[in-house]
Structure 1
Amino acid sequence: MKRIRISRCGSQLLAQPAHRRPTCPSAAAALQSNFTPHNYRIQSRPQSTAAAFSGSDLLNAQSEAESSGGARNRKPPPARAARTASTSPPQSIADLTKHRSPRPERAFGSAKLAALRSRLSLPQRFPLQSLARTLVHPSADADPDFNNSSLSILGANLLSYYTTEHLLCNYPRLPMPVVFAAQEAYIGPKALATIAGEWGIEAAAVPGEEVDPGLLQFDRLRSGDDVPAGLRHHEAPWKWNITVTHKILANDEFGSSTSNKNPQSLRGQAVPLEEAAQSFVRALIGSLHLHLGRPLVKRFFRDHFLSRHLDVDKLFDFRTPTRDLSRLCAREGFEPPVARLISETGRLSRHPVFIVGVYSGKDKLGEGAGSSLDEARFRAAAAALKGWYLYKPLEFTVPSSTEGEMDTSEWIPNLVDCGEVIV
């Protein structure tokens, strides 16, 4: 069987003619043991004596070694066996020439990576190779050993954990729909893409081995193309069993079932800039956790995420606040709420204003103003519900503050509310 010759593959091939493939099993085994995951791709090598082997050469060498007796039934060394099990050689020339990431050693000569590390105030012990890997999306490099898919999964879980404990410890009475909305406001796809833009991340036009490692690399979605199925956000039809409890148990931290939970499933697919930017931010959090530890990651999360102002009271959307307030008072043993007119002006004019208060016995629960009595009563009941749900304890501790030897915070039990009003 003749070896397939590649006439043109751009600048990635060597000018020297390829050596012949080995014929003996021992030489084939030695050739296979010298190949790393990056060597499975067609690359230019600076040494003049280096031989350029194509993907078909490697496959033919392996098949000849197996057909000649399996190298005398000898088992490969443990290190080689682990390497061949984790990474399989490509099956086509298109896989070899498509979407390569820059070599890890090129990170030392990238001014953009050094500037990004200084801009984020990261310590010098944080390696530039890991920072460069966080910028490689699976759509730009399908090899999980060189893209940010695994780091992105770890970073997403850490961001979800830190954000959830912050919200639930600060506001223990928040309804779950508001918690979902606050989660998306802090660490949602649009929020992470905005943060990446504020950090000064620049995206490469086309991914490749010759691209600067300090650029965000991904296969850019062209104008007019369809978004991948894992990134589509469609309004699900109403179903009787899609409840808040179902969203807590079956969906993600945003209460949505359409978000992509496995970034590696997007390899080989064109993605929008927002997806690549959020994968970088999540991968950076995961990489910081692995290299620098939990205390620095928590400080980084506080400085770059929790420092952003969020009006939680703007996330509420009451449909029947008067009925919800009546049920809340009945559940807590309060007197039934009564709406009373506090003041008014211009009743017979075109723009009247009424101020109504909601009272439970002698305690005023809320107050609202409107152009009619019903609107003012509606807003007063909504203000009373917000006053209940936005309760914030004076002292509290988050669970992650007492973990590890470096965290010496004394644990203060948090308030665990019985939940929102079930209608």
Structure 2
Amino acid sequence: MLIVLLILLAITYNRVLANSELNIELELPERAYAGFECNATIRISNPPEGTPIKVLWIRLITPWGTKHHSVNLELSPGTNLTQEITLRIPLEAKTPAYVSIKATIRVYDFERAKQVTFESDSVRILIDRVIPKVSLKVNTSKQNLTPEEPFELLVSYSIVDLPGGESPTLKITINDSLINSLNLSEPSADLYFNLTAPRNEGTYEIRVILYYIVGEESDKSFIYVSRRFGFREKEAWEQILAANQSLEFVMSLYNAAKEQIEVPEEALSLISLAGIRIEQALDAFQEANNSVFSLARDSFNASNAAIKIILTTYQEKLSALISPINATVEKYSKILSKPEMENVTRSLENVVEIREKILDEPENAPILYEEAISDLEKANLTLNRAISRYHTRIRILSFCILTILTISFFLMVYVSRVLYRVLTSS
């Protein structure tokens, strides 16, 4: 019993001695709000006659528990130490009500080589409750969007009567998936966010949640994502029709041309490509996919390229047929009569004119080619007749000359014999 009494007396003596050596002040605001932070200031003064110490930690003793704060700083005699501790009042704290808070300090006394605990006086503080006035409004620049189309989200908020310096938090979700979160530095503002519509079609809820320490406010808006929004259906169908019309024409032209000329394989490959692209364009149209425009354009261009190849082949074929006839005309121009020369020249000029017209009238290319062939046949017929007549005349002339030579030969023989007889008889 005596030992216990001595221990209690020693502890009491140490605390009294320590209190006489250190001055501890706890400062708190007169009022704090449930759910919010308040700052506690602890000032520790070591008088000149004190001993060197090291402040190990400070604890705030509150009705809701203990707030521990590590320090580990040395304090020489005649010096002061100030520490700020942030304390959050529980949201469920009873309000309005006065509560007592005090600070407990643990130091190490270098001279005594032991730890000593000190306590400050209790400070009463009023715990009150505040209900901020909060407004939140959410709007989107567009509601009907195509997949991955950019749009703008407008968030207008206002918070009035929010105590302390804590920042509210704003979170943005699309169908419960968080896409943005930020701390707000202003009590009210209009915020703009550049967002992109989801890739998949559907209806999406955009929810904005404003957290303001003691509560939250939310607002929502909806966007509707579909490929058909912004899809120029009428224009797309018109382009498909134009591409299909071009494909049908080139197929008809090809079928007619292959009976008249040798069509290059490249033309057939382009026609096949045009058919593939038109089928892909139809599939894209059903899906309201904007790729329909490029696919229809590719089909149209492939058909036109095939048309140009076929028409150019027509022209090259006519040029190849004209060339030998021109050479023949040049060779036999002297034996042609004036009407024959005019007929041949007129036919060749018609063929040249038709050759140039083929590009301007692709729909008439097979007919024009037949007309050109007809004119070439007329020119050939005229030339062949003239050449045949010329060769006939040559043969007749040759026969006449041969006949004359033969008669002359026999006449000379006869005259020679007569002269011989006359000479011999005399």
Shorter-chain TM-score bucket reads under 0.3
Specify the structure having the higher radius of gyration (Cα). 2
- Scaled by the length of structure 1, the TM-score of the pair is 0.21
- Scaled by the length of structure 2, the TM-score of the pair is 0.21
